[in-house]
Amino acid sequence: MDVAVQQKKLQIQESRQRKRTPPLIEAKIEGMHSVPLFPSNPDPDERLEQIHQLLLKHFGKPEPRDLWDPLSQFIYSLLSSRTKTETTYAVVAQLRQRFGSWENLRDATLAEIENAIQDITFPEQKAVQLKSALQQITQRYGSLTLDFLAQYRTDKIRAWLEQFPGVGSKTSGAVVNFSTLRRRALCLDSHHLRVTQRLGLTPRADAHTTEERLMRLVPESWTAEKMDEDHRLIKKLGQTICTFAEPKCRICPLLGVCKYGQRQIAVNASEAPEPRYSGS
């Protein structure tokens, strides 16, 4: 065969090969392994799945959740904002023991409730919100339960819950996703907001907008259980590595997919002082 024809055939084959292989950007940061990043035109669904798999590999699979009834989860979530998880669990356990039933908690005085939740943040404000919500649920439904919500659509349930003072999208998301209702929903706490914004998945915005944008990226195939698992993995990352004050990007399992983290490392490296000359 003519050499020119052979060369032309080779060029065509190489060009086809290049088209089949999506270009991977390589992170080239001094002192790090070369890390493959997202394809240059990533499918959003793949990004969340990829992040999920990296976190699973790093932290392992979270223990299955002990599902509570919607009312117990509602009480826990209402008390939990700005309070450590262990503290809130301990306070809810003490409430169960001290009052014996959620009806007794509802009928207790504000002073008694406030005293019983002293260990959480803003006990005075939360005692008012809690008593008021328990009273209103009883008035509207006729008894103190949220089990009836199971017959409604997820968006209706969340809108209904968010009528109560102190109940925002984080609490309503937790009730529908973490309780026996087990619906597909995101519960965006402060860790989730910070991590997803640093990862460039969501803009700097309030929880409502962030949730709406993030829901667009959640693959259709993700079940309520998987969304709960993802929440716990992201939360763990936010508590241990992607912390508010000082993200530990160098040891983060998501560094390869986080441009913010790569920039932080590059900036820190450029600001490091020159080594001093110690020759004689």
Contact positions vs ligand SF4 (CB under 6 A): 195, 198-199, 241-242, 247-249, 252, 254-255, 258, 260-261
Q: How far is the CB of 24 from ligand SF4 (least distance, A)?
A: 18
Q: How far is the CB of 104 from ligand SF4 (least distance, A)?
A: 44
Cβ-based nearer residue to ligand SF4, 79 or 249: 249
- DSSP conformation letters of the chain: --HHHHHHHHHHHHHHHHHHSPPEEEE--TTS--EEEEESS--HHHHHHHHHHHHHHHH-PPPPP-PPPHHHHHHHHHHHTTS-HHHHHHHHHHHHHHHSSHHHHHHS-HHHHHHHTTTSSSHHHHHHHHHHHHHHHHHHHSSS--GGGGGS-HHHHHHHHTTSTT--HHHHHHHHHHSTT--S-----HHHHHHHHHTTSS-S--HHHHHHHHHHHS-TT--HHHHHHHHHHHHHHHHHTS-SS---GGG-TTGGG-HHHHHHHHHHHHHSPPPPP---
For ligand SF4, which residue has the nearest CB? 261
The gap from C-alpha 142 to its chain's centroid, in whole angstroms, comes to: 35
Q: How far is the CB of 202 from ligand SF4 (least distance, A)?
A: 13
Cβ-based nearer residue to ligand SF4, 157 or 255: 255
Cβ-based nearer residue to ligand SF4, 146 or 199: 199
Cβ-based nearer residue to ligand SF4, 193 or 252: 252
Q: How far is the CB of 258 from ligand SF4 (least distance, A)?
A: 3
Q: How far is the CB of 198 from ligand SF4 (least distance, A)?
A: 4
Cβ-based nearer residue to ligand SF4, 49 or 114: 49
Cβ-based nearer residue to ligand SF4, 51 or 175: 51
Q: How far is the CB of 251 from ligand SF4 (least distance, A)?
A: 8
